[in-house]
Amino acid sequence: MVTIGTFDGVHSGHAALIRRARQFAGPDGQVVAMAFDPHPASVLRPSTAPGRLTTLPERSRLLRAAGADAVERLEPTPELLGLSPDQFIERVLRDHHPVAFVEGPDFRFGHARAGSVQTLAEIASRRGARVEVVPPVEAALEDQTLVTCSSTITRWLLERGRVSDAARVLGRPYELCGGVVRGDRRGREIGFPTANLDTPLLLPADGVYAGVATLEDRRSFPAAVHIGPRATFNDARPTVEAHILAWSGPIAEGGPEYGWPLRLSLIAWLRGQARFESVPALVAQIERDVARTREVLADAQAPLPVAMQEASA
């Protein structure tokens, strides 16, 4: 079984494709997800390429968790994107010999996106393969609006700070992952040290979020996360700064100060950006942000990991 796409974000619709392919393949069959990385638009229209929701390793992990046996990267080279629909599918048939393709109704492929699921069915039938079309998956947002789960709507929600709604589309909280880098150390000077995250992923709207920080050893802690410029300090650079609650930091545990991996799950939007007239006023607001973060995570429907439960107590 083969399913082809970009799968960025691995939202609930993507997961439905993999689950359906898994059902058809059975316990002895193989499900191969062929994922374009980076997005084809980065080659065809670089100035309009969408922000990335997942790294390829994370995408592979999520696709496998949904039921894929293998994830194959499709590099969107001009040569590959220039193949006609027939040439592209014939290559897939030659390399993988699938008995079936599983796709959504809006699947497009081949040069200029000329191929559709109908085209795919015609080409596959010549080689004895069939096509299974999986209906779109819908999600109800907090205002009860129904949307079709897609990477596009996920980005739209994130760009407006609606991380809880993005989680409804994704089927899990949106995560920023990357490495911790040195910042200007202002946080530690005012009593709120932060981990500064360098990430290639799409940043949600500027603001402060309640989140969960997950370390390399899988321990998780509540975190108040600031995203965007630091107006109080006249610093226009966009940053991702996480104040991790109830954790003494890497140095106290014998680890390096910088360079360690960190994953931030964004649970709820707390407030927008603001400029404060003084550092004491900023500190007072951060204290409120931390208190609100604890409240939000304590009220979360999903049970917290053990480390988070202890930190929130």
Quote the pLDDT of residue 231: 59
Chain segment 131-168, per-residue pLDDT in tens: 999 999 999 999 999 999 999 999 999 999 999 999 99
- Within 13 Å, how many C-alpha atoms sit on residue 138's CB side? 5
pLDDT band at 236 (very low <50, low <70, confident <90, very high): low
Could you write out the three-class secondary structure of the chain? CEEEECCCCCCHHHHHHHHHHHHHHCCCCCCEEEEECCCCHHHHCHHHCCCCCCCHHHHHHHHHHHCCCEEEEECCCHHHHCCCHHHHHHHHHHHHCCCEEEECCCCCECHHHCECHHHHHHHHHCCCCEEEECCCCEEECCCCCEEECCHHHHHHHHCCCCHHHHHHHHCCCEEEEEEEECCCCHHHHCCCCCEEEECCCCCCCCEEEEEEEECCCCCEEEEEEEEEEEHHHCEEEEEEEEEECCCCCCHHHCCCCCCCEEEEEEEEEEECCCCCCCHHHHHHHHHHHHHHHHHHHHCCCCCCCHHHHHHHC
Among 158, 268, 254, 175, residue whose Cα is nearest residue 224: 268
Among 162, 153, 121, residue whose Cα is nearest residue 13: 153
Is there a shared CATH topology between the 2-135 domain and the 173-312 domain? no
Chain segment 89-106, per-residue pLDDT in tens: 999 999 999 999 999 999
Over range 299-303, report the average pLDDT.
Answer: 60
Considering the four listed CATH numbers 3.30.230.70, 3.40.50.620, 3.30.590.10, 3.40.50.150, the one that applies to the domain covering 2-135 is: 3.40.50.620
Over range 213-217, report the average pLDDT.
Answer: 96
- Domain assignments of the chain as residue spans, ordered by start: 2-135, 173-312
Mapped onto helix, strand or coil, the DSSP state of residue 17 is: helix
Chain segment 174-205, per-residue pLDDT in tens: 999 999 999 776 767 777 899 999 999 999 99
Quote the pLDDT of residue 234: 60
Does the pTM of the predicted model rise above 0.85? yes
CA angle 103, 107, 108 (to 5 degrees): 140
Instruction: Please determine, looking at this structure, whether the domain spanning 173-312 carries the CATH number 2.60.120.560.
Output: no
Chain segment 56-87, per-residue pLDDT in tens: 999 999 999 999 999 999 999 999 999 999 99
Mean pLDDT, the chain, as a whole number? 92
Quote the pLDDT of residue 310: 37
Could you write out the three-class secondary structure of 103-143? ECCCCCECHHHCECHHHHHHHHHCCCCEEEECCCCEEECCC
Quote the pLDDT of residue 16: 97
Quote the pLDDT of residue 238: 86
Q: Is the peptide bond before 50 cis (omega within 30 degrees of 0)?
A: no
Quote the pLDDT of residue 51: 97
Quote the pLDDT of residue 278: 86
The rounded percent of the chain whose pLDDT value lies above 70 is: 93
Q: Is the pLDDT of residue 308 over 50?
A: no
Beta bridge partners of 212: 222, 265
Q: What is the dihedral of CA 12, 14, 16, 19, to 10 degrees?
A: -130
pLDDT band at 232 (very low <50, low <70, confident <90, very high): low
Chain segment 110-135, per-residue pLDDT in tens: 999 999 999 999 999 999 999 999 99
Chain segment 269-292, per-residue pLDDT in tens: 999 988 888 889 999 999 999 999
Which contiguous run of DSSP H or E holds residue 255?
none
